Chain A
């Protein structure tokens, strides 16, 4: 089991005080190594919140999240940053590529935060992954010269550069047209298989969800099959 979320709850306090709005209510989720999970649900149901909790960008109000045997709630911010850098990959609805960097440099961006990840091996991996997603020809271009689909594929490579065990994708196809959306979904599945990375995708797209091993619906703060 790579991920085990137990009884996690999260509320939001729009005014910072008073009675909060319960988003996740004693939610449980277990994900096996290499598994592909889709999480669907209506807007505002807490899908991104759940993904952020899993990705350690946020902390639950209660409950525990275990990554393998590691209790994430016991880690401080610095440890969590390192954890994210080494174990987690993120893909967002927007590609968030830095306009001043080339595609290749954007891919290498996560390696700057961790000296252990720097060196010839990572460069070789970057070249291989870029080639894998078909961006070798434009790897020295700036994001402004590329299409949305190309940028999003680059964002996927960036998420995988450090060899994470868990890839979290938050509406990765949300900003793409149907054709690009299909290509990206296939790419994620293929990379899941090739890299052995566990994949959790939050999506509104049934087409994308169907490509996953399991699909959960998040409603009223709880997951259901």
Chain B
């Protein structure tokens, strides 16, 4: 006989008892491994989504608002000898069945067939004419199928920003009937998108050439994809070597007569970075600033709508006037002349101003002064045959145009009628788009200029961005929410219950081997030797428990993955989550379980062995009776504090304060447990004249085990309280949603349009155009597209979307509340702090506190880095965190900083609307905004959508908590079984004196029923109190169901466990218990 043989024999002999320990350990292992594998699965699925949304794409070249020639892609491909493809990305919305159905926020992609090579189906994008391929998401949402046709309205892209002054935007969208020829799966690049998001986009793919044609463009694109075969880092250089002037939206023209070469821009104004480049490389170059003014007036005469240009030789308010204008206004040298003009404001806002100049010279146009090319190329204006055909982005009163003006236009076109100093021109008319309309270099050949320009300009300076989208996507996916940790947290109670169950079983196992321990001790085994022996034996159970737990864990993971793809989909925002098992997680889970199990078993063993020695010294069982007066006193103190808190703090000025309800409930729990203890004490000491009855006998049994019973009550009541109260701890974001300080800012609707709104709607005219009441308040946001950093996105986001507003609007309304602000931010007017200018161009910014903390992993005072369209690093300093708001996921800055930093971002696609009158409802809004393809949501619904994530987590917690309670009650059942076993001699006695077994069962069950009901009441009453604000909310009416579910679950499983225990005990040969030998 060896120790190992003894262990083997013990394992074999006690196999039935041990199987319980093994099963308990298996359950714990399953939960641990299951949670870790959930983390693996979500991480893997996010990586798969990155793979699916990008296909074989690795690096991506984008150009912001700029369009370039698709041949740029071909040139790059040739040079790097890797496949590339050019795409034209726009937004749009679909009108189906004549408007019966609409699908907004569509991502419209113009693609060449070779785009298919980036997915798994090279034939997927063989599209011609108006053929469209849509992804499954669009098909599902819009109910479209192959062969269907629908009207697609697309945001019309131009080589110039839509907000460019003077450019007409009468057609900022185009519409076409498209026919669905393919519904693409994710593997066919159906879910292609460049944003780091796990949610499937709403994609419509069209033939690139056809889309160009619809937008009156030719061969234009704004995205280039590079195949993953290319891993080089010299793309900026390669891009530079392949681009042409037209790709930069610039034009070079040589004037041999005037002997200069000129650089102009499709965007009317030459970008500052290009101007700086020319000035540095060609010192002889000089900028030209030409502007369209509303009119000249002098001597009581007026000349309407004319171009004016700059002359570097002039200064101050001097003006050189052409003979035609001088004659028209009867001007002489030294006369004053008033010029009225529009200054460019935010969006397309124009402010009319005028300035008085002094005539310096009256010239007869010749040479440069007669140069029609001084007029910038403004589509709709410079190309018009006569004045009446002008299509300008500014209001033009055609009545003011005289025949003489028409005659001038016909003869000289837009040749400037006057010149002012460059400095003055820039001061008056310079704007966010640029400070020059042309750069002229005297005596330089265009070919030479082009060569220098193309080689010298940097892609970043022109807004080209080259990103390794695949790597960034994978890193965003890997760095996001760790579902492994999350589910470990959510499963905490289940894990705890399972571990507890194992150790209750192990304790039971030891209890059954008391005599063996005594024998070993009597035979000379030391405590440590016995401990080692049992620990060795236990490690075998731990090993088998873990081994058995692994498949259980995989099954548990399977269940969770199924749940988060269906009923809990809110927490992941995608149904595309697949099981992925990592051996590392299994190994980690197994090792952690082994370590903690053996550690705890060692501890239990040690305590048990020591206790056994004490137990041997005890003579006989006795029942100590206590008055329980201290339990009563302390219980009443708890109860009083909790009720006082509720009365004085729970309701504050008519508003419910959920935190105090929770604290109050939390205080009530120990109070009730202590009162239960007092009651049991009282029952135990009650001698009175009452006759001895069955009821009294039951109560006597209860009070005899008072300590143990109070322990059971405490355990169950605390479990019930924790699970129910935490599960009920929801926020009702709708109750105060009308308040300006709430998360809605007091706005009723959140509108996101598919087509940008170029003119501000917050004017009488704008409101009238949108059929909004005159007192409706509309806030337009300028949007710099970026990733969604809200809790709906699982990826780790570094550059959230930037939105900009006029801070005064929110300040006047005192909209939203702040969870925290940096020192220096005026707490009374925090919004105005956004208008501050920090040193080094740092821009102050706000974001939701939750986004700052969790989405970005930052804190107040930290800085976010972006690159703007001129290649400059933009630094946003987080100076305030908003309390839960509809702005979650975005970073908010002041519009003045936005206009300076992102000048070409045109129009607005995001609005908040406050409609004081109830007359306008959601349908009215949808109808009046329909031309912009709006996605309109009530702000309270948007808040709830964000909160649905937290709410779903709480639902998961409730469900897992219920399972934990179930396991806990199994543990309780085992505990009761142990108690039952200990009481067998008592049952045997009752049998011997004529008690029927059914009567004994009744006795025990009544006792257990009493205990469980008391436990549930002690747990559920405080839990209901703590969750009362939630339960009384109309939003969470369905949560009441959890109360009977959890109570029923605990009651049923507790009673079932008790019944099985007593049945098992009674079915034994009880007589053995009272045998003498």
Q: Contacts A48-B1077, A100-B701, A101-B700; is A140 near B994 (CB within 8 Å)?
A: no
Contact A110 B1076, beta carbon cutoff 8 Å:
no
Most chain A Cβ neighbours within 10 Å, of B693, B696, B993, B995: B993
Tell me which residues across on chain A come within 8 A of B993, comparing CB atoms: 84-85, 90, 109-110, 113, 158-159, 162
Tell me whether B648 is interfacial, beta carbon within 8 Å: no
Tell me which residues across on chain A come within 8 A of B985, comparing CB atoms: 94, 96
Tell me whether B13 is interfacial, beta carbon within 8 Å: no
Closest chain B CB from A111 CB (angstroms): 8
Closest chain A CB from B822 CB (angstroms): 66
- Out of A52, A82, A105, which one reaches B692, CB within 8 Å? A105
Interface residues in A164-191 by Cβ distance below 8 A to B read 170-171, 174
- Stretch touching chain A among B214-222, B306-314, B620-628, B752-760: B620-628
Tell me which residues across on chain A come within 8 A of B865, comparing CB atoms: none
Tell me whether B704 is interfacial, beta carbon within 8 Å: yes
- Out of A85, A88, A94, A99, which one reaches B704, CB within 8 Å? A99
Size category of the A interface is: 35 or more
Contact A112 B623, beta carbon cutoff 8 Å:
no
Tell me whether A142 is interfacial, beta carbon within 8 Å: yes
Interface residues in A133-148 by Cβ distance below 8 A to B read 140, 142, 144
**What per-residue 1/0 map shows which CB atoms of B672-709 lie under 8 Å from chain A?**
00000000000010010001111011001101100000
Which chain A residue has the least Cβ–Cβ distance from B619?
A: A144
Tell me which residues across on chain A come within 8 A of B704, comparing CB atoms: 98-100
Contact A93 B986, beta carbon cutoff 8 Å:
no
Tell me whether A44 is interfacial, beta carbon within 8 Å: yes
Which chain B residue has the least Cβ–Cβ distance from A123?
A: B691
Contact A112 B692, beta carbon cutoff 8 Å:
yes
Q: How far is the CA of A80 from the CA of B329 in the complex (A)?
A: 132
Q: How far is the CA of A158 from the CA of B992 in the complex (A)?
A: 11
- Out of A52, A96, A104, A114, which one reaches B994, CB within 8 Å? A114
Tell me whether A77 is interfacial, beta carbon within 8 Å: yes
Contact A57 B622, beta carbon cutoff 8 Å:
no
Contact A58 B1071, beta carbon cutoff 8 Å:
yes
Tell me which residues across on chain B come within 8 A of A83, comparing CB atoms: 994
Tell me whether B1075 is interfacial, beta carbon within 8 Å: yes
Q: How far is the CA of A109 from the CA of B992 in the complex (A)?
A: 12
Tell me whether A150 is interfacial, beta carbon within 8 Å: no
Tell me which residues across on chain A come within 8 A of B455, comparing CB atoms: none
Contact B1074 A94, beta carbon cutoff 8 Å:
yes
Contact A100 B703, beta carbon cutoff 8 Å:
yes
Tell me whether B533 is interfacial, beta carbon within 8 Å: no
- Out of B622, B694, B1075, B1076, which one reaches A99, CB within 8 Å? B622
Contact A82 B994, beta carbon cutoff 8 Å:
yes
Tell me whether A81 is interfacial, beta carbon within 8 Å: yes
Closest chain B CB from A57 CB (angstroms): 5
Tell me which residues across on chain A come within 8 A of B991, comparing CB atoms: 57, 81, 84
Contact B692 A86, beta carbon cutoff 8 Å:
no
- Out of A48, A93, A113, A170, which one reaches B996, CB within 8 Å? A113
Q: Is the interface of B mostly helix, strand, loop or mixed?
A: helix
Contact A144 B621, beta carbon cutoff 8 Å:
yes
Tell me which residues across on chain A come within 8 A of B684, comparing CB atoms: 100
Tell me which residues across on chain B come within 8 A of A171, comparing CB atoms: 1076
Contact A144 B620, beta carbon cutoff 8 Å:
yes
Which chain A residue has the least Cβ–Cβ distance from B1069?
A: A58
Contact B621 A104, beta carbon cutoff 8 Å:
no
Which chain A residue has the least Cβ–Cβ distance from B699?
A: A100
Q: How far is the CA of A221 from the CA of B737 in the complex (A)?
A: 89
Which chain B residue has the least Cβ–Cβ distance from A97?
A: B989
Q: How far is the CA of A159 from the CA of B765 in the complex (A)?
A: 103
Which chain A residue has the least Cβ–Cβ distance from B985?
A: A96
Which chain B residue has the least Cβ–Cβ distance from A161?
A: B993
Closest chain A CB from B149 CB (angstroms): 80
Interface residues in B1053-1077 by Cβ distance below 8 A to A read 1069-1071, 1074-1077
Contact A144 B1074, beta carbon cutoff 8 Å:
no
Interface residues in B979-994 by Cβ distance below 8 A to A read 985-986, 988-994
Q: How far is the CA of A81 from the CA of B1066 in the complex (A)?
A: 14
Tell me which residues across on chain B come within 8 A of A67, comparing CB atoms: none
**What per-residue 1/0 map shows which CB atoms of A27-61 lie under 8 Å from chain B?**
00000000000000001100010001001011000
Contact B1074 A81, beta carbon cutoff 8 Å:
no
Which chain A residue has the least Cβ–Cβ distance from B698?
A: A112
Q: How far is the CA of A177 from the CA of B863 in the complex (A)?
A: 89
Q: Contacts A99-B621, A101-B700; is A162 near B994 (CB within 8 Å)?
A: yes
Contact B692 A104, beta carbon cutoff 8 Å:
yes
Tell me which residues across on chain A come within 8 A of B621, comparing CB atoms: 99, 144
Tell me which residues across on chain B come within 8 A of A170, comparing CB atoms: 1074, 1076
Q: How far is the CA of A85 from the CA of B1075 in the complex (A)?
A: 19
Tell me whether B251 is interfacial, beta carbon within 8 Å: no
Tell me which residues across on chain A come within 8 A of B253, comparing CB atoms: none
Q: How far is the CA of A119 from the CA of B19 in the complex (A)?
A: 50
Contact A112 B693, beta carbon cutoff 8 Å:
yes
Contact B622 A142, beta carbon cutoff 8 Å:
yes
**What per-residue 1/0 map shows which CB atoms of B985-1011 lie under 8 Å from chain A?**
110111111111111000000000000
Tell me which residues across on chain A come within 8 A of B700, comparing CB atoms: 98, 100-101, 105
Q: How far is the CA of A94 from the CA of B990 in the complex (A)?
A: 14
Contact A113 B701, beta carbon cutoff 8 Å:
no
Closest chain B CB from A117 CB (angstroms): 9
Contact A96 B989, beta carbon cutoff 8 Å:
yes
Interface residues in B995-1033 by Cβ distance below 8 A to A read 995-999
Contact A100 B623, beta carbon cutoff 8 Å:
yes
Closest chain B CB from A110 CB (angstroms): 4
Tell me whether A108 is interfacial, beta carbon within 8 Å: yes
Closest chain B CB from A11 CB (angstroms): 14
Most chain A Cβ neighbours within 10 Å, of B620, B694, B1077: B1077
Tell me which residues across on chain A come within 8 A of B999, comparing CB atoms: 113
Contact A108 B1074, beta carbon cutoff 8 Å:
no
Closest chain B CB from A105 CB (angstroms): 5
Contact A144 B623, beta carbon cutoff 8 Å:
yes
Tell me which residues across on chain A come within 8 A of B697, comparing CB atoms: 101, 105, 109, 112
Q: Contacts A96-B989, A105-B700, A144-B620; is A110 near B1074 (CB within 8 Å)?
A: no
Contact A52 B1071, beta carbon cutoff 8 Å:
yes
Tell me whether A19 is interfacial, beta carbon within 8 Å: no
Q: Contacts A98-B986, A99-B621, A144-B622; is A84 near B994 (CB within 8 Å)?
A: yes
**What per-residue 1/0 map shows which CB atoms of B60-96 lie under 8 Å from chain A?**
0000000000000000000000000000000000000
Closest chain A CB from B114 CB (angstroms): 79
Other A-B contacts than A110-B994, A114-B994, 11 sampled, CB-CB below 8 A, are A44-B1077, A82-B996, A93-B1076, A99-B621, A100-B700, A105-B696, A113-B995, A113-B999, A140-B687, A162-B993, A174-B1076
Give chain B's interface residues, CB within 8 Å of chain A: 620-623, 684, 687, 691-694, 696-697, 700-701, 703-704, 985-986, 988-999, 1069-1071, 1074-1077
Can you sample 11 A-B contacts with CB below 8 Å?
Answer: A57-B992, A57-B1071, A81-B994, A94-B1074, A96-B1074, A100-B704, A105-B696, A109-B990, A112-B697, A113-B996, A174-B1076
Give chain A's interface residues, CB within 8 Å of chain B: 43-44, 48, 52, 55, 57-58, 77-78, 81-86, 88, 90, 92-94, 96, 98-101, 104-105, 108-114, 123, 140, 142, 144, 158-159, 162, 170-171, 174
The 5 A-B residue pairs whose C-beta atoms are closest, nearest first, are A85-B994, A100-B704, A144-B622, A110-B993, A84-B994
